[in-house]
Homo-oligomer: A and B are copies of this chain.
Amino acid sequence: MKIGIIGLGLIGGSLAISLRNRKFADYFYGFDINADHGKQALEIGFINEFVDLDTLIEKSDLIVIAIPVDKARKVVLSLLDKVKPNQIISDMGSTKSGICAEVKDHKNRKQYVASHPIAGTENSGPTAAIDNLFDTKITIICDKELSDPKAIEVIEKLYQTLNMRIIYMEAEEHDRHIAYVSHLSHITSFILGKTVLDLEKDEKNIFNMAGSGFESTVRLAKSSPAMWAPILEQNKKHLSVALDAYINNLQQFKKHIEEGNTYETYKLMSEVNEIRRVLNGIKPIK
C-alpha cells in the first residue's frame, strides 16, 4: 500500500514512523505547506518522497490528513472531489462534528473515515515525531455507518497496527466528551501558565520555586497554538458548557478558602481523589 500523509508534524510523522516500522505500507508520500518540514521528514526518513498535493492525491491508496482542524476542513472537500473510487481518506483531528458536516453531502462521502487517535505530546513538528506515540492508547472512529465498510476496514487495520483500541461514536458525542477530557485541560493549563507568568514579574521565581507538580500541570501550555486555536474555535459549544462548570466550581472553592471553610475544601478534595481509581483504568492495552 502507498500512503500519502498531509502534514508532517508530530502526528503525521509519528504515524509514518510506526506504520513504516510495522510494514503497514511500503511507500510514503508526504506533503506539508512548510517546505522545511518536508526536508526534515526526508532527513529523518519517515517519508520516501516530498511531493505536491496533487501528486500525493494522484498516487496514494490511502490519504491521511494530519494538519490543524481548520485547514483539514478546507482540504477534505478538494480531496473528495479528486479521489478515484478505491482511494480512502481519513483525518486525525481533535474535532469531528465540523469536518463531518462539511463532507456530509459529498458524493464521495463513503470514501472518508472520520477518526481521532487520542495521542500526542506537548511538542510539535517533524522532529517531535516518535515511534510508539499511539501504542496502547484509544482512537475514536466517528459516524462509522457513513463510510464504506471496506474503508472502515482499512482504517481499523491501520489503528490495530498502531496497537490502539478503537471506540465508535457519533461525531457530536465525540466532540462533547473530548471537550471535557482533553480540550478543557489544555485551557486550564494555558491559563495557569498565563496567570503565573503574569503574577511572577520576575521569572526567576518560577525558575527557582516551581516543582514537579507545577511542571506537570502546566505541561500542556507548551502545546502548539496553530493546532489548538482552531480546535477551541470548532468546539466552542461544548467548551462553553465545560468552562462554565469549571469556573463555577472554582468560584465555589475560592469562597470556601476565603471563608476558612476547611471542612468543605477537605471534602471536595477527598471526593476528587476518586479520579485516581478512574485514571487507573485509562490504559487498557498492555
Classify the secondary structure of A's interface with B. Answer: helix
Give every chain B residue within 8 A of A195 (Cβ-Cβ): 180, 184, 242, 245-246, 249
Q: Which of B185, B200, B230, B239 contacts A214 (CB 8 A)?
A: B185
**Residues of B with C-beta under 8 A to A262:** 229-230, 232-233
Q: Is A140 an interface residue (CB 8 A)?
A: yes
Q: Given A194-B271, A199-B245, does the pair A177, B225 have CB atoms closer than 8 Å?
A: no
* Cα distance, A203 to B257, chains bound together (Å): 28
Q: Mark A241-284, 1 if CB is under 8 A from B, else 0.
A: 11111110111011001101010011011111111101101101
Does the CB pair B265–A229 fall under 8 Å?
A: yes
Contact of A74 with B by CB under 8 A: no
User: Which of B118, B137, B200, B275 interacts with A193 by CB under 8 Å?
Assistant: B275
Per-residue interface assignment for chain A, residues 162 to 198, with 1 indicating a CB less than 8 Å from any chain B CB and 0 otherwise: 0000010000000001101110111111111111111
Bound complex: CA of A182 vs CA of B232, how far in Å? 27
| Interface size counted on chain A using CB atoms at 8 A | 93
Report copies per complex.
2
Bound-state Cα–Cα, A268 to B273, Å: 31
Question: Is residue A20 within 8 Å, beta carbon to beta carbon, of the partner chain?
Answer: no
A206-B194 in contact given A199-B245, A240-B258, A265-B233 (Cβ < 8 Å): no
Instruction: From B118, B138, B203, B225, give the contact of A269 (CB < 8 A).
Output: B225
Whether the pair B181, A188 counts as a contact (CB closer than 8 A) is no
The answer for the CA separation of A229 and B272 in the assembled complex, in Å, is: 13
Centre residue among A177, A187, A191, A222 by max chain B CB count within 10 A:
A191
- Contact present for A225 and B191 (CB under 8 Å): no
Q: Does A24 contact B (CB under 8 A)?
A: no
B272 lies within 8 A of A194 (CB): yes
